[in-house]
Amino acid sequence: MNQIIGFFETYHPFRHLLFAILILVLGHWLMKLVTRWLERVMARAQVEPTVTRFITHVSYVILLTAVGIIALGQLGIQTTSLLALLSAAGLAIGLALQGSLTNFAAGLLLILFRPIKQGDFIAAAGVEGTVQDVQILTTTLHTVDNLRLTVPNHKIMEGTITNYSVTPTRRIQLTVGVSYDADLQLVKHVLAALIAAEPCILKEPAPFIGVSTLGESSVDVVVQVWVQRADVQKVRFGFLEQIKLAFDQHGIRIPYPQRTVHLQTSTDLMQHHTGVEHE
């Protein structure tokens, strides 16, 4: 120790610089140690990965700022004036980056209140996709078309967020129009048989079949069934095909809008015109 002290006293002009470098090296090692410790603690507590990354990133920035200020103090720089300068610079940067600050605030709310998390399938800001990562300024989504979308956080927070992954079950509602001549009891019987034969449809909550609308050209029958979240697409599209095939088999007609058009020949128009003049 005496030799180390003597070394610093001998090279007095570089003493403060060497101390500053030593503080930066030790500070960098300490920052890595603290962030890794935080990651292990939050992993044992089963904290969301998004929250873990945010806390470790903020901790790293705070520690880096503190170490930098201490190192500059060793070089004889007045840290009080430096802090005032940094505050003024932060204010100017904040005014110039108001949009980014809005995204930062929205990202902070998304991370703290967690309306969405990694792996959720959501609809927000006019797009749909699986959440890949929630960062400070943006959220990354992976669409069903294998596209990667980067959405500003304030766009997500300022609108309605539909999270399809929160509950394990989903309700599917289908509306089928049948002819006014169709036997409604037969229609309900066919639909009930299809529901009973579909293994992906849950028994509880119980399915529902009923008339919803008496339309201009059809009687609209609504079918409501509950399925597991993973079976939504399979049942929605497959059940419609089964309904069409079953209706064809039982002679149940699905009407479509029709219009009657009356055509008049030129002779009819001339006779009509002559009749009007004669009168």
Domains in the chain: ranges and CATH: 2-84 (1.10.287.1260), 115-163 (2.30.30.60), 169-250 (3.30.70.100)
Residue 13 has pLDDT above 60, yes or no: no
- Given a contact cutoff of 8 angstroms between Cβ atoms, the answer to whether 227 and 201 are in contact is yes
Rounded to an integer, what distance in angstroms lies between the CA atom of residue 227 and that of residue 207? 10
Does the N-terminal peptide bond of residue 205 adopt cis geometry, omega within 30 degrees of 0?
Answer: yes
Judged by DSSP in three states, 14 sits in helix
Percent of the chain with pLDDT over 90: 44
Residue 77 has pLDDT above 80, yes or no: no
Q: Has this prediction a pTM greater than 0.75? A: no
DSSP conformation letters of 57-79:
HHHHHHHHHHHHHHHHHHTT--H
Six token digits for residue 59:
């901790």
Hey, what long-range contacts does 13-19 have (CB within 8 A, 24 or more apart)?
16/74, 16/75, 16/76, 17/75, 19/74
What pLDDT digit, counting tens, does each position of 233-275 carry? 999 999 999 999 999 999 999 887 766 676 666 665 566 555 5
- Given a contact cutoff of 8 angstroms between Cβ atoms, the answer to whether 54 and 136 are in contact is yes
Rounded to an integer, what distance in angstroms lies between the CA atom of residue 109 and that of residue 115? 9
